[in-house]
Amino acid sequence: MLSPVDEPERSRRAGRPRREESSQLSDRVLACAFRSFCENGFAQTTIEGVAADCGTTRRSVIHRFPDKDALLIAVAEREIHAAIEELHATLRYADPDPMEALRDGCRYLLSVAINRAPAFYRMAINETQRIKDLSKIMVWSSDEYERAFVRLILAAQNAGTFQRHSASTLATAVIGTFMSNPLNRLLMGDPLMHDELHLDIYFSQAWSVFLAAA
């Protein structure tokens, strides 16, 4: 027979799987909501639809995310934090060849713009004026990208290049050229943004223009 001292430990062990299952369900809800927001947009995504997609009930979703706005905020936080973690893991801040590291970083930005769920970002941006917490997340994301490229550009400047402009100015130019502009063209339906050969040409030309201006 278990002593009274043993009872709390048994309760913790018994409760752990339930906590893990709850966390796993939350992850499934967010993944299904992300897919629905991308494919259907905000207006056509419903709590009921998300619940059905991940095999749970509306009540279970509402227990975790009280309404669709809260669900969108949670999805955005999950997606953007993952994107920022990937950004820092990809960029080579201490590379002995800072120009090559910057060039590869710019190519990575172009890939992010084309491949990292542009439909979700368009939908999220459309909702930022209405949902202040969502706006804060998007602004934080933009600031993180700028800070990351400031680090790369400062390394290049310390090596003797890019002396005409500040690192912040050049980082803004990099993000606009290799991320914002391609993303906007993609969202407006430019078919060339789906063509790998054209993307290679776009990158080569944009990199040359950036070097000439910097």
Write out the residue range of the structural domain in which residue 4 sits: 1-66
Q: What is the pTM of this model?
A: 0.85
Say whether both 159 and 126 belong to one domain: yes
pLDDT for 42 equals 95
CA-nearest of 113, 144, 139 to 206 is 113
- In eight-state DSSP terms, residue 65 is S
Give the pLDDT confidence of 24-45 residue by residue, as tens digits: 999 999 999 999 999 999 999 9
Residues 115 and 188 in one domain: yes
pLDDT in tens, 128-178: 999 999 999 999 999 999 999 999 999 999 999 999 999 999 999 999 999
Looking at the fold, whether 103 and 137 belong to one and the same domain comes out as yes
Query: The domain spanning residue 209 has which CATH number?
Result: 1.10.357
In this structure, are residues 181 and 152 in contact, taking their beta carbons and an 8 Å threshold? no
3-state helix, strand, coil in the chain (%, to 5): 80, 0, 20
Q: Are residues 61 and 91 in the same domain?
A: no
Question: How many secondary structure helices (H) and strands (E) does the chain include?
Answer: 10, 0
The stretch 46-58 carries a mean pLDDT of 96
Q: Are 37 and 45 in contact (CB under 8 A)?
A: yes
